[in-house]
Amino acid sequence: MSVSDKKKKQIIEAAIAEFQEKGYAGASMDRISERAQVSKRTVYNHFDSKDTLFRAINQCLADQVNSALEIPYDPDLPIRDALLRLGWAEGELMVNPCFMGLARMVMSETIRDPELADDMDKRMTKLSVFTEFMDRATREGKLAAEDPAVAAQQFLGLIKARCFFPNIHIGRVPEREEVAKIIDETVDMFLARYGVSATAKNAAE
């Protein structure tokens, strides 16, 4: 890592701490430079405004999410195992204190500013990964999802509704055993709706 990259990393880490403590409106570029132990000029050489710096933090969060979902589809896995694996791609983020803290800070600001929320949404590849999974599994006859995009939203929503949203608002990180139970139950519920055998049974009735 070059000296410049190292300083940029220091600035982003300092900014995350500052935004978490003071919020976007109360955050100070002066204090960020002090936290990062660099000059204010160095901060502005890398980020020309507080907004630019906050968007860089958004990108850090998006990178964490997108990296977690870099899991190749395995056609040889039984569908339940594949869904569990997909669920844990999200679940691992939920049990990561650093991710949850960063997500809470970013969410508090994106709620304030719809433009920031839209910017964050565009950086995420999460839903497309889940949609591609549902589409391929359906084409291979392992699932019966009439609309893979809706199925992806439902699968992700079942996990986030119990793992993410109740905890993010109170600054809590769920236990791994708790998340495992939620993912197991989500997969079973999902297969009850979109599993091939379940769909065939419903059609016969």
- Upper half-sphere CA count for residue 6 (Cβ side, 13 Å): 5
What domains sit in the chain, N to C, each tagged with a CATH number? 1-48 (1.10.10.60), 61-204 (1.10.357.10)
Contact partners, residue 103, CB within 8 Å, separation at least 6: 61, 93, 164, 168
What's the predicted TM-score (pTM) here?
A: 0.78
Contact partners, residue 81, CB within 8 Å, separation at least 6: none
Contact indicator for 93, 68 with CB cutoff of 8 Å: yes
Per-residue pLDDT of the chain (205 residues; tens, 9 = 90+): 687 878 888 888 888 888 878 888 888 999 999 999 999 999 999 999 888 888 888 888 778 777 777 788 899 999 999 999 999 999 998 998 888 888 887 777 777 777 776 766 666 656 788 999 999 999 999 999 999 999 999 999 999 999 999 998 888 999 999 999 999 999 999 999 999 975 544 444 4
Tokens for 100, please give them. Answer: 């949850």
Contact indicator for 94, 179 with CB cutoff of 8 Å: yes
